[in-house]
Amino acid sequence: MSEWFKLLRELFRNLNQLRPHIRPNRWLVITALITATSSAAFEGVGIGLLLPLINMLDGDPQAVLAGVIRRIFKTDLPPWLAGFSNVQYVAAFCGMVFLTVALKNGLLYFNQRLMAAISRRISQNLRASLFEHLHRASLGVFEQRKSGEIGHAYSMEAVRAQMTVENLLFIIQRSFLALFYLAFITIISWQFMMGVLVLGAVVAFAGSRVHLRLRGRGEQKRKSQRELFAFVTSSFNGVRVVRANNALPGMRKAFDQMNWEVAEADRRGTLLSNALMPISETIALAGAMLLLVGAYGLLIQQGKLGATQLMLIGFVLIRTLPLMNQISAMFGQLTFNSSGVREALRWLQTPTFPSHPFGKKPFEGLRHSIQFEKLGFKFPNGKEALIDIDLKIPAGKTVALVGASGSGKTTLASLLLRLREPSSGRIVVDGTDYWEFTPEAWHSRIGMVEQEAFLFNDTIENNIRFGCPNATKEDIAKAIRIAHLEEVIAGLSDGLKTMVGERGTMLSGGQKQRVAIARALVRDPMLLVLDEATSALDNESERQVQAALDAARTGRTSVVIAHRLTTVRNADLIVVLDQGRVVEQGTWAELAPKGGYFTRLLEAAQKGRLE
């Protein structure tokens, strides 16, 4: 039993954490609670009217009415209600029963619509929060998770969280109705009500064992679905590798196993869930029959309860038992789906970036220099990627970062772009710590081209305009011209409206890079960061892209990460990195004949051994 209470505490703690997503709809929630209470109240009134109606059918209708008024209003029958025929009294009570039931059903329908609206809006708010939070999460979140886990959380777990909210609202609505039924039984016979409470405890205890197992089944299903979703996403992202290595049979075998585990977890959960209501109903019905037998022997034969009252209690009990079963079954679904709430909340609690807020200063542009002061960076696993970097990038100059793989070149560029947060030291722009600038102001003045250009499955025009929606046609045309993209677009039947496919697969590597260059240039950046933008291209594509990059760098401050050292021969400053430290700085003419680390890099490159 302690495990069940532990489950309850955890469940309500998780639901309590959903409050920020419920708060915008609090008036809907309040209205839903009011309509649920009112609906249950009218149900109770309707049932309450049945007892005097039954007594009217078996006795004097006017006397019965007078007795009801005396008990409720503590007064005699008003003169204007006297003198009617028995049929009219009975008809009036029948009309009141109909009216209360009709009002109950109207309020119940309105309440169900409100609960559906609440559920939809909470789910909408939850998805929006996940989208916003994950786009502000640290890059480490994406680097340490499987590619499909986030998609699974956003789709499957958000849906299960919505189902959890629906289950909870259903339980609340049915609980109000059950409470009014129980209150009605209490009014008639508190002794009988004590027996009902004992019966409820027995049903709850029996159901608790199933609820605990359902919780485990729900957790197992969540894990199995997450693994399957991640596996499927990974397999499609690497479909070229799968086919080239004839790995489909092995992938299919692994998929079949994971798919079976999901189906098996769902089957076991469904079996338990389907068994919950028959078990509860059987126990409840057996207990109800015992209660009626006991009430007849201990209450009716002792003169403490009338036969008509017991008949009415039996009627109410018949209405109550299905409610108890529904609540028990829905609570089982609640425990089964609650892992979706835990998973969604877990993603909402991932570290955000940066750990301290951005500043609010505007950024007008680089005038003098960018200064790296004792800059250091550690990955979450503790590995040091950069150590005490001291470096000055003069405005309007091209600075090349060179070094073997793993030397820290890309990490340094990521810090400059504010994609990562320094572990120590700082970056100063014209005397101001660059974290003091607003994200919008800083990133709107920076252009980035990576080794493998990422294009969205959209038109060429929209990919160029991405992140700069206010770009004019003249801005786009200028960026296309500088990126040497005019000839490519002219050769496409749909021109700028050509769809590029997922990740730009409808374009060649060189064409994708030039689209990425145009995207970086359309915002007219003051700082251009080029992260090995030509290393993955063939010679002809490299020549074309390099010409575009040379044109793009004109008049701008540029940071170039180079794998092919020949591409940075004309850089104003070459910075040589080794194991996260700056080991040399200078021009090509200064470093090449020096006999230092850069000279060794050149020699390794000439022999094809540079990594």
- Model pLDDT for residues 25-35, shown as the tens digit of each residue: 778 878 888 88
* Closest-CA residue to 89 (of 66, 62, 70, 51): 62
Checking if the pLDDT of 486 tops 80, the result is yes
In this prediction, residue 611 has a pLDDT band, given cuts at 50, 70 and 90, of: very low
Taken in order 382, 386, 390, 391, the sign of the CA dihedral is negative
What was the pLDDT predicted at 518?
86
The fourth-level CATH superfamily of domain 453-524 is P-loop containing nucleotide triphosphate hydrolases (3.40.50.300)
Two tokens at 363? 């950024």
Please give the residue that has the higher pLDDT: either 443 or 312. 443
Q: Taking the domains of the chain in order of start, what are their residue ranges?
A: 2-348, 453-524
Instruction: Taking residues 589-600, report their average pLDDT.
Output: 85
To which H or E segment does residue 369 belong? strand 369-378
Domains 2-348 and 453-524 share a fold: no
d(CA 190, CA 110): 33
Two tokens at 596? 């230092």
What was the pLDDT predicted at 553?
76
What was the pLDDT predicted at 157?
67
What is the pTM (predicted TM-score) of this model? 0.67
Checking if the pLDDT of 92 tops 70, the result is yes
* Closest-CA residue to 518 (of 542, 539, 488, 562): 488
Instruction: Taking residues 522-527, report their average pLDDT.
Output: 84
- Please name the fold of domain 2-348: ABC transporter transmembrane region fold (1.20.1560)
In this prediction, residue 504 has a pLDDT band, given cuts at 50, 70 and 90, of: confident
d(CA 465, CA 73): 75
In 3-state terms, what secondary structure has residue 585?
strand
In this prediction, residue 215 has a pLDDT band, given cuts at 50, 70 and 90, of: low
| Contact assessment for residue 146 and residue 359, using Cβ atoms and an 8 Å cutoff | no
Checking if the pLDDT of 206 tops 80, the result is no
The single-letter DSSP state of residue 361 is B
Please, what is the average pLDDT of the chain? 77
